[in-house]
């Protein structure tokens, strides 16, 4: 059943069918033709996939990120980080990564992070002599941090799928997110040593302090959102709504010139489009995974894994490798919905903590965003800056290696994922 479903899925993809439709049709065919499930029950899975309270946080966090980008709030934060460390050796790429880390804690969206950070940092890096491919590669790679740094849209999806508390997953992602950011910063400094460049002039203490005060309202947002969740003031979904209100408030007070109807419309439109894509993917992938569940594929894989003689660590390496292979052809959402229902019971049978496995899964989803040929961040950078995709791919290769190494460290040092729990 698994191989028949995958064969139908990839045939439809080759014929040019959208990913969500390919998943939905392949799952629907399995359920209706091979499992003889009622058509009404199959169609209802599309609604069930999105009818979850926690998933309502996704459009809110996306809207908050888009509002920060288009209303100018994000620019103040980027300007501060640039003033603080941009003059150091490799400082501009490092500043881009630090900014992406902070912005990821505000929006939870890799796409919003890439556009917001790249729009300001890439032109400055190129102007100072950093190679175009390195400038775009570091931004495309750093944008993936929005998946690990809470609040993360993919953490919300994972938590909803396996029925765990998303606030615990948010908390678990803080140390791994910072760790991966440090790995990327070290990589960016090493890569930047070969670029012939001039340093950004060092900002005065007065300039740094002024930019910090201007950025402070934005920097306080993660404290408000995550602090409110962990103090029990509101749920993650309510926190997402609070973040939208907070961004609107600080933008109206401090960025009145960009608080226009046109910018609000662009932010809402981008949110609606991205949310629609995600929810369609959720529906299609749920049809596929439901068919496999009815066919008892997860149970059979769990039984098989429990009987093989390989060490648990070796099996987990194979699972992570499977994630990376899927990441070469699919976006993170369908990967999650195809693999997690099948692999999650097997991982629990191996004795792995659900939170630790969640962090490893999200790390692999980060990698999938910059894995050619279909990494989403690669196309976002290429399309936004009108550069060939090959330039972006070459720039991301060192950071791709760094992300893989960081993921292996997370696998063998589970403390990084569970220290704050």
- Residues 221, 247: contact at Cβ < 8 Å? yes
pLDDT tens digit at each of 421 positions of the chain: 778 877 888 888 888 888 788 888 888 888 888 878 788 877 787 777 777 788 888 888 889 888 988 888 888 888 888 888 887 877 888 888 998 888 877 766 677 778 778 877 888 888 888 888 888 999 999 988 888 988 888 899 899 889 898 889 999 999 999 999 999 999 998 888 776 566 778 888 899 999 999 989 988 888 888 888 888 888 888 988 999 999 999 999 988 889 999 999 999 998 898 888 888 888 887 888 778 777 777 677 767 766 777 788 888 998 998 898 888 877 788 888 888 888 898 888 888 999 999 999 999 999 988 988 778 788 888 887 888 888 899 999 999 999 999 999 999 999 999 888 7
For residue 182, the model assigns a pLDDT of 95
CA dist 249 → 107, 153, 376 (Å): 16, 23, 31
Per-residue confidence (pLDDT) for residue 250, from 0 to 100:
92
Residue identified by tokens 């399995």 is 30
In angstroms, the CA 238 to CA 389 distance is: 38
The pTM of this model reads 0.85
- Determine the pLDDT at residue 248: 94
Q: What is the pLDDT of residue 196?
A: 56
Segment holding 397, helix H or strand E:
helix 389-412
The domain limits of the chain are 18-418
Q: What is the pLDDT of residue 313?
A: 86
Residue 184 and residue 164: Cα distance in Å, rounded? 29
Q: Look at residue 291 in the predicted model and tell me its pLDDT.
A: 80
Q: d(Cα 26, Cα 11) in Å, to the nearest integer?
A: 10
Instruction: Say if residues 387 and 134 touch (Cβ distance below 8 Å).
Output: no
For position 382, what pLDDT does the model report? 85
**Whole-number pLDDT of residue 197:** 62
- Joined together, the tokens standing for residue 5 give 């479903």
Residue 160 tokens read as 């909803």
């Amino acid at each position: 059943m698994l191989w028949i479903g995958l064969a139908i899925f990839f045939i439809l993809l080759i014929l040019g069918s959208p990913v969500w439709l390919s998943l939905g049709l392949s799952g629907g065919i399995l359920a209706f033709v091979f499992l003889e499930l009622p058509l009404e029950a199959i169609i209802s899975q599309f609604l069930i996939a999105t009818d979850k309270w926690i998933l309502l946080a996704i459009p809110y966090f996306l809207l908050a990120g888009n509002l920060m980008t288009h209303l100018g709030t994000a620019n103040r934060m980027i300007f501060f980080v640039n003033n603080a460390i941009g003059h150091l050796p490799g400082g501009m790429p490092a500043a881009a990564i630090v900014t992406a880390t902070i912005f990821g804690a505000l929006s939870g969206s890799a796409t919003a992070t890439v556009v917001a950070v790249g729009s300001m940092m890439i032109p400055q890096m190129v102007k100072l002599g950093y190679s175009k491919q390195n400038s775009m590669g570091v931004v495309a790679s750093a944008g993936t941090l929005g998946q690990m740094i809470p609040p993360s849209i993919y953490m919300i999806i994972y938590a909803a799928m396996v029925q765990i508390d998303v606030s615990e997953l948010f908390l678990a992602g803080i140390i791994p997110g910072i760790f991966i950011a440090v790995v990327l910063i070290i990589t960016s400094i090493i890569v930047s040593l070969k670029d012939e460049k001039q340093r950004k002039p060092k900002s005065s203490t007065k300039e740094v302090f002024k930019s910090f005060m201007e950025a402070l309202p934005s920097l306080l947002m993660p404290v408000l959102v995550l602090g409110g969740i962990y103090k029990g003031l509101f749920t993650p979904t309510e926190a997402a709504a609070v973040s939208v209100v907070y961004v609107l408030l600080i933008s109206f007070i401090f960025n009145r010139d960009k608080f226009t109807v046109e910018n609000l419309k662009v932010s809402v439109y981008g949110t609606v489009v991205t949310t629609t894509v995600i929810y369609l993917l959720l529906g299609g992938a749920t049809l596929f995974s439901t068919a496999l569940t009815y066919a008892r594929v997860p149970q059979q894989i769990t039984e098989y894994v429990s009987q093989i003689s390989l060490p648990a660590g070796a099996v987990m390496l194979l699972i992570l490798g499977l994630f990376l292979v899927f990441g070469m052809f699919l976006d993170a959402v369908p990967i999650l919905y195809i693999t997690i229902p099948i692999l999650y019971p097997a991982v629990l049978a191996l004795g792995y903590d659900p939170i630790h496995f969640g962090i490893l899964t999200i790390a692999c989803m980060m990698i999938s965003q910059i894995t050619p040929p279909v990494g989403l961040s690669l196309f976002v950078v290429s399309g936004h800056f009108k550069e060939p995709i090959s330039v972006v791919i070459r720039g991301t290769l060192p950071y791709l290696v760094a992300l893989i190494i960081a993921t292996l460290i997370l696998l063998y040092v589970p403390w990084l994922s569970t220290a704050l729990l």
